[in-house]
Structure 1
């Protein structure tokens, strides 16, 4: 049994044999800025990309929606394929060159999309964006290199806040720029990525010494090969399954929340946008400021259980709340759910040696991409079925109740996996 104030108990259960280097503030700050700008750049083009596609197909909204869905699927597939490749390359050649080349590549890609004369060129740019954005897995490996195991959850939490900040600020800024010129958000995204790459050339040191690098193997650098790493150890396999289920549950928000809130509560676009912004801000506060405190008090395992339990309650509130005002009471619980992501990342890094951290993060990103591919179909079809005429029960909140059930399953698997590891030690 762990004591609430025991901050080292997890170290005796899940060990990483080689100690990392002392963290460098400038380098960790750069990784934070890199992920923030990557997410900000993605968010910048989010509100304008569907309109740009619509313009290429003669303002046919239905056709534009189908093509936009294809763009999203293609982007996720590129993430699935190239996250383990870039992760393995970073294990072989170091984190710095992979991160910097990806940043320069992302900047060039946004220039390509800003100048795209046709839908085919725009689609090509989206494919390249999926490849270069896959470097986020390398950024997480960089953090693992520099941060002691008992501090990783807190640092991963702060990095997670960058995701929230980018998605809160990006769409709002992109919408304003898109009103001026539909190509302007792409130029802004290119400028941000290029400036960040130049900044990295000046401040980003290499985090993986030559003696801790591993050979590049294509068997490990493809999605199926990367998943072998996740199955190589029982606790790691269990935590990877928990990660997949939680990522799958998260997809309910981008895939159905707008449709659900509009259908059930009659919200307009402004109210939906405000609610999503509040969700993002609350998540940023929790991940940026509360994760470290919670992990110190509960340990990484306790933080994981707390986060999954909070997410379960939050989704239940979203799915059952009869009014929009009551649904807002689920936002704090949903924000607290974010603690679980940082905790599970930290726990998994303890189970993999330093020379395979890039491969681990690549495999983890591939798992997340799988969830992003499967989730939209699962939740939109569930929503459509339970509001349809043939449904045995009219239940608009069914997708959120399903997400809540998934988190209960994840919680059970996490408890069993960590108890098995404790018995083994």
Structure 2
């Protein structure tokens, strides 16, 4: 088996375990905060929101730092650091005596993060160009699959084993990722001995500054678009159905169909980007995703919403891996970790902004307006990508006579 395939399998397993572990904590955080002595409903919502969002803000700050370290010392050491560190920190959350210790550990989790960006950088640099799109597309399904399964596992573990055991089991899953990475990941890495300021090094030696910035912004917008739906889907489902006893189930299915579509489509769209060009997949996926958001504002029942979100999942599956593939093509290998670290920062900021803005837009303008505004934002981004990415890359691919 080629080394890049073995690395892909191990990184997929690691990202899947990491995603399962991190996503299964989200639904039990409010319950755990109540367990730690906070019983006022408003206070629980406030603290859980801060504990959830603060991790992403800290992660956005530290991702470029760990990306720089990956370029200096290798991507495998960063995988080992992140998986072991997060395993220990999340396991320690089960021993928290109060919410202050819990929030402190959540902040520390944000500092230690970086497994996903290190995986992406490793696969991007250790995979040949002919298979990069397929490999990165396949890798992207790991986090999606883990995010789908994680909340269900978290809920089951909370009911069957208790709140604290959710954190212990999550930590154990990440330790499993650490062991698998240590044993099976192989990296051919040559350290670059350069004492240059990281920021100046990036912008001084990245040959495509404008193109890179456009891709960062696109990654941010996509993450924002996905997470604007997080606070409102359940409420929207309750408005679309009169049978309130099934709202939670229908909301869960609505979330799941989009992720399922992404799992199905991501490797295939990765192959298409290898064959026809990443810029074409990015532009087409942005347009389809933007269009698919708008009719969600006018559905009459949850099943129509699910169908549209399935199509949305098919389109959005092509965006993140294609962005990463294009970044790999235009970035020197010794800067890949830094660049992917900044990309992950853009994604973390998009998650925080989306989950915050979605609820605010719904409160001021109504739930249906969230879909329209989000769709319009994606279409505006598509226009920008057409001029800054599609036309530029297409001109380069034209044969010269």
Q: Same fold (TM over 0.5)?
A: yes
Once the two structures are TM-superposed, the CA of residue 360 in structure 1 deviates from its matched residue by: 0.5
Deviates more, 1:48-57 or 1:399-408: 48-57
Match of 2:248 among 258, 269, 273: 269
Deviations along 1:266-307, whole A, 9 cap, x unmatched? 55112111221222222211124x223432554212211221
- Runs ≥4 in structure 1, deviation > 4 angstroms? 216-219, 225-232, 421-425
Match of 2:257 in 1: 278
Once the two structures are TM-superposed, the CA of residue 133 in structure 1 deviates from its matched residue by: 2.6
Match of 2:133 in 1: 153
SS class of match (2:199): coil
SS class of match (1:244): helix
Distance 1:281 1:64, change over 3 A: same
SS class of match (2:229): helix
Once the two structures are TM-superposed, the CA of residue 229 in structure 1 deviates from its matched residue by: 7.9
Match of 2:15 in 1: 35
Match of 1:350 in 2: 329
Match of 1:98 in 2: 78
Distance 1:278 1:333, change over 3 A: closer
SS class of match (2:230): helix
Equivalent-residue separation in structure 1 for 2:61 and 2:279 (angstroms) = 30
Match of 2:280 among 302, 320, 324: 302
Distance 1:103 1:227, change over 3 A: farther
Once the two structures are TM-superposed, the CA of residue 55 in structure 1 deviates from its matched residue by: 2.3
SS class of match (1:46): helix
Once the two structures are TM-superposed, the CA of residue 138 in structure 1 deviates from its matched residue by: 1.4
Deviations along 1:82-130, whole A, 9 cap, x unmatched? 1001100010011111110111111111221011111111112211222
Aligned counterparts, 1:145-294, within 5 A: 145-180=125-160, 181-210=162-191, 213=192, 215=194, 219-220=198-199, 233-265=209-241, 268-288=247-267, 290-294=268-272
Match of 1:409 among 380, 391, 400: 380
Asked if 1:126 corresponds to 2:106, the answer is yes
Structure 2, unaligned runs of 5 or more: none
Distance 1:214 1:348, change over 3 A: farther
Match of 1:321 in 2: 299
TM-score between the two structures when normalised by the length of structure 1: 0.86
Equivalent-residue separation in structure 1 for 2:67 and 2:333 (angstroms) = 12
1:145–1:207 Cα contact (<8 Å) kept: no
Deviates more, 1:98-107 or 1:271-280: 271-280
Equivalent-residue separation in structure 2 for 1:324 and 1:424 (angstroms) = 45
SS class of match (2:256): helix
1:43–1:166 Cα contact (<8 Å) kept: yes
2:121–2:336 Cα contact (<8 Å) kept: yes
Equivalent-residue separation in structure 2 for 1:42 and 1:231 (angstroms) = 36
Match of 2:392 in 1: 420
Number of aligned residue pairs: 390
The structure where helix makes up a greater share of residues is: 2
Equivalent-residue separation in structure 2 for 1:177 and 1:231 (angstroms) = 49
Equivalent-residue separation in structure 2 for 1:412 and 1:23 (angstroms) = 39
Match of 1:393 in 2: none
Once the two structures are TM-superposed, the CA of residue 240 in structure 1 deviates from its matched residue by: 2.2
Equivalent-residue separation in structure 1 for 2:299 and 2:231 (angstroms) = 19
Match of 1:7 in 2: none
SS class of match (1:206): coil
Equivalent-residue separation in structure 2 for 1:254 and 1:357 (angstroms) = 31
Equivalent-residue separation in structure 1 for 2:37 and 2:296 (angstroms) = 36
Distance 1:422 1:339, change over 3 A: closer
TM-score between the two structures when normalised by the length of structure 2: 0.90
Structure 1, unaligned runs of 5 or more: 1-21, 388-395
Equivalent-residue separation in structure 1 for 2:93 and 2:55 (angstroms) = 14
Distance 1:57 1:231, change over 3 A: farther
Equivalent-residue separation in structure 1 for 2:374 and 2:127 (angstroms) = 32
Equivalent-residue separation in structure 2 for 1:354 and 1:402 (angstroms) = 37
Deviates more, 1:365-374 or 1:401-410: 365-374
Distance 1:294 1:126, change over 3 A: same
